[in-house]
Amino acid sequence: MSRELTPQEIAERSLIKTYRKSLWNPFVAAVKRYELVSPGDHIAVCISGGKDSMVLAKLMQELQRHTEQPFSLTFLGMDPGYNMENRALMESNAALLGIPVEVFESDIFDVTTKVEKNPCYLCARMRRGWLYAKAQELGCNKIALGHHVSDVLETTLLGLFYGAQLQAMMPKLHSKNFPGMELIRPLYCVHEDAIIAWKNYNHLRFLQCACRFTEARDASGDGIGQSKRQEMKVLLRQLKETNPNIEKSIFRAIHGVQLDTFPGFKYRGRPHSFLENYDGTAYCEDI
């Protein structure tokens, strides 16, 4: 008689079997394509308690089991000011899934709830700083965040529609303020829909953002509220109804930017004009 699998074993098996094409394969593709993991790395996988960071943690565990280039993992959870129920949910999910998370506390929610302008941006920046500092203290050289391809596309549209710039989200970055530290995004090629499907398949319930701004969005009736990112998410969903390949097109576009078709661009914060090289051979009509 075969042994009944635990919830952890079912979740792990579903990653590399049921959702192999939609989760495991694109995850491995991103790790290889963008050279996110190197032998000897000590990576802090940052756990917020949400679905994205939890599936990232499980995928990183699987990668560690199957790789021929060994690296170390630390699962780092930050409590930015969760209530007791949300903190307990994060910790119980980690225990259920076999993620040995180390939780530390910060006062980020106390600070950001007093800010009216761009509180989500401030929250993200503060979270990043706390995570870098704690990871570095623990001897890590990288932090891994759970941003997925849907986040990449939404960020691109936000920059275009509200920031007056063509700007994407990078798969990895060096830290300016924490020398020797690097940020990686191993879910860069994974779609949010696949993460949601895995979550539902395993009957899991994870944290949302758990702050007052998310609560206001959920109570708005349109599912958007004042969240511009949520507005982009809804817009992409609407565009997919008439163009199922819209997300793939945007993703490919940010990998193939044709600079010689733009009248201006910035590199490392410095503006450049096409006029700088106009009298050379860079700008010629091909007729």
Among residues 155, 118, 138, 111, which one has the least CA distance to residue 46?
Answer: 138
Query: What is this structure's pTM?
Result: 0.90
Q: What is the pLDDT of residues 165-214, one digit of tens each?
A: 999 999 999 999 999 999 999 999 999 999 999 999 999 999 876 555 55
pLDDT at 220: 47
How many domains is the chain partitioned into structurally? 1
The whole domain housing 223 covers 7-260
Distance separating alpha carbons of residues 11 and 226, to the nearest angstrom: 35
pLDDT digits (tens, 9 = 90+) for 103-128: 988 877 766 666 666 677 777 788 88
Q: Mark 75-98 as b/e (b = at least 16 C-beta within 10 Å).
A: bbbbbbbbeeebbebbbebbeebe
Asked whether residue 79 carries a pLDDT value surpassing 80, the answer given is yes
For residue 269, being part of any structural domain is answered with no
DSSP string covering 4-73: PPPHHHHHHHHHHTTTIIIIIHHHHHHHHHTT---TT-EEEEEE-SSHHHHHHHHHHHHHHHH-SS--EE
Q: Is residue 270 a part of any domain in this protein? A: no
Q: Is residue 94 predicted with pLDDT exceeding 80?
A: yes
Average pLDDT for 224-236: 83
Domain-embedded: residue 252: yes
Asked if the model's pLDDT at residue 93 lies above 80, the reply is yes
Q: Residue 55, class by beta-carbon neighbours within 10 Å (0-12 exposed, 13-18 middle, 19+ buried)? A: buried
Residue 130 has pLDDT above 80, yes or no: yes
Mean pLDDT of the chain: 89
The CATH number given to whatever domain includes residue 49 is: 3.40.50.620
User: Do the domain assignments include residue 124?
Assistant: yes
Q: Minimum mean pLDDT among 18-27, 44-53, 195-204, 214-223: which range? A: 214-223
CB 16 within 8 A of CB 198: no
How much is the pLDDT for 199? Answer: 97
Examine residue 182 and state whether it is found in any structural domain, yes or no.
yes
Residue 59 pLDDT level (bands cut at 50, 70, 90):
very high
